[in-house]
Structure formats: C-alpha cells, structure tokens
Amino acid sequence: MSERKMGLIDFVFPKNCFSCNKQGYYLCPTCVTRLKHAPTNCPMCGQYNFQGKTHISCRQKYGMEGKLACYSYRGPIKKALVQMKYHYSYKIAEELARICLIEVKSYTQLINNCVLVSIPTKPRRYNWRGFNQAEIIAKVWSDELNIPYLDNALIKQKSTLPQARLDKAQREKNIKNAFRINAEKQEALNKFENILVVDDVWTTGSTMREAGKVLKRNGAKYVWGITVAG
Ligand SMILES: [Zn+2]
Ligand SMILES: [Zn+2]
C-alpha cells in the first residue's frame, strides 16, 4: 500500500477513542487503564495455568510452551481490532501494539535468546505485500523493546477461509498445513532458542498451534504465542 493511499485512509477514518470518543487516540490513556487483561490460559487446552504456560499434562512433541494474550477480546479492544482489519489501518495496529508494551516486556524478560516472527495472513503474491496486522504489531514490539524480528519467516502456502466464521474443528482443518518455513530464514531462525509468534487475536489458538507445529518440526526448540487480545 502506498504512502498516499494510507494517508487517504487515515483522512476518512478519524482518530477517536473507540470507548469514549475522545479525539487523538483510538484508545485513550484513560480507557486503556480500564481494559481487562486476558486470563493466563494454557495454549493447548485453554484452561488456566500460571503465566499462560502449557500444562505438563498438555505438552506435545510439536506443541507450544506457552502464550500471552495481553487484553481480553471484548469491548473497545475488540472494536478496535475489527476496525483495524476492516479499514486496513496501520495506525490502529501500531497503537494497539503500543498499549501492550508493558505486558510484552515483562513476558519477554522471562525468555532469553528470543526472536519475534509473525503469522502471515495471505499467500505471498509476487512482488506484492498487503496489509498484515501481525507484522505491524511485531515490528512495533521489536523496535520498542529491542527484540529481534525475522520478517517473512513463516509463509502461507495455501488460501484459507476466514477463521472467524468456523467452529473449532473446522478451524483446525482449515488452517492445517497452511504454513511453511521460508527457507531463506531457516538458518537465522535456528540461532534462537525461543521463537515468539505474534498475532493480533487468540481465539481457539488453532492458527498459532499450527504455526508452532511447523516451527518445531523444523528445529525450533521453544515456541511461544503473543497476541494483543485473547
Ligand atoms: Zn477513551
Ligand atoms: Zn493445558
């Protein structure tokens, strides 16, 4: 998307708080303090576990070690995420990433030698890069928290239906084999002990678990998921 086109979208989409309508923010500082944090659930079974770690009984060979969803996916944060996708808004994505910085920082401080990768949204077309909210979020976290980010480490190799319209079983089937590792990034990936996979929302976790599986099958030691909401 060109700078000019992005500017136009920002112009027609005014910046007002999704909660109180205050100008200048998508989520103003006051409303951010009122957001609910997401429960720390095991990424494999969805039940509570300390720090969102995978229960010992839920561990799998190609399973994830844990996940962090910063905020509960409801209210103004849900509205902001839906509008972000609908309007392809870089600005909303960046602002949402920034309100997660404290949570992401404290989480990643527990994990040494880590790298961020993002969930790809669409199969990569020749010479065309579309709006990818996960990539925008990952870049903000990388820049602000000084964590390396490997772009295009995961490639989407098939088209999928929007996960939101499907039930849990259908989601798993839909996303199965959707990703592969970008061969050009494999060597760089192997240098890190912990891979943190970034996405905007955690719902059933099937997308994240599938990405984790692909990373682990290709030599990743530990895989964690991080999302804005869940
Ligand atoms: Zn507000
Ligand atoms: Zn579990």
Name which of 96, 55, 110 is nearest 199 in CA terms: 96
Distance 125 CA to ligand 2 centre (A): 37
Residue 181, strand partner residues: 154
Distance 22 CA to ligand 1 centre (A): 6
Distance 75 CA to ligand 1 centre (A): 12
In the chain, domain spans? 38-71+101-229
Distance 102 CA to ligand 2 centre (A): 25
Q: How far apart are CA 40 and CA 51, in angstroms?
A: 6
Distance 142 CA to ligand 1 centre (A): 26
Note every long-range contact of 119-127, with CB atoms under 8 Å and residues 24 or more positions apart, other chains counting: 119/154, 119/197, 119/198, 119/199, 119/207, 119/208, 119/211, 120/152, 120/154, 120/155, 120/156, 120/179, 121/156, 122/156, 122/159, 123/155, 123/156, 123/157, 123/158, 123/159, 124/152, 124/155, 124/156
Distance 10 CA to ligand 1 centre (A): 19
Distance 191 CA to ligand 1 centre (A): 42
Name which of 213, 225, 139 is nearest 178 in CA terms: 213
Could you give the 3-state DSSP secondary structure of residue 16? Answer: strand
Q: Please tell me the predicted confidence (pLDDT) of residue 34.
A: 95
Distance 44 CA to ligand 2 centre (A): 5
Ligand in closest contact with the CA of 27: 1
Q: 76 pLDDT band (50/70/90 cuts)?
A: very high
Name which of 43, 96, 45, 108 is nearest 71 in CA terms: 96
Q: At the topology level of CATH, where does 38-71+101-229 sit?
A: Rossmann fold (3.40.50)
The strand pair at 114-118 and 194-201 is best described as parallel
> Which token pair is 45?
């079974």
The strand pair at 154-156 and 179-181 is best described as antiparallel
Q: Please tell me the predicted confidence (pLDDT) of residue 164.
A: 79
Is 81 within 8 Å of 73 (Cβ atoms)?
A: yes
Q: How far apart are CA 181 and CA 194, in angstroms?
A: 16
Q: Please tell me the predicted confidence (pLDDT) of residue 3.
A: 46
> Which token pair is 118?
């993002």
pTM exceeds cut of 0.85: yes
Distance 52 CA to ligand 2 centre (A): 9
Is 130 within 8 Å of 49 (Cβ atoms)?
A: no
Ligand in closest contact with the CA of 20: 1
Mean pLDDT of 38-57: 96
Tell me the per-residue pLDDT of 178-204, one tens digit each, with 9 for 90 and over. 999 999 999 999 999 999 999 999 999
Q: Is the pLDDT of residue 8 over 70?
A: no
Percent of the chain with pLDDT over 90: 78
Is 64 within 8 Å of 212 (Cβ atoms)?
A: yes
* Residue ranges in the chain assigned as alpha helix (H): 3-12, 29-33, 75-87, 90-98, 101-108, 133-145, 168-175, 183-189, 206-217
Tell me the per-residue pLDDT of 21-38, one tens digit each, with 9 for 90 and over. 999 999 999 999 999 999
Q: Please tell me the predicted confidence (pLDDT) of residue 127.
A: 46
Query: What's the alpha-carbon Rg for the chain, to the nearest Å?
Result: 17
pLDDT: is 88 or 213 the higher one?
A: 213
Tell me the per-residue pLDDT of 94-149, one tens digit each, with 9 for 90 and over. 999 999 999 999 998 878 899 999 999 888 654 455 789 999 999 999 999 999 99
- Give residues whose Cβ lies within 5 Å of ion ligand 1: 17, 19-20, 22, 28, 31
Tell me the per-residue pLDDT of 150-173, one tens digit each, with 9 for 90 and over. 999 999 998 888 887 898 899 999
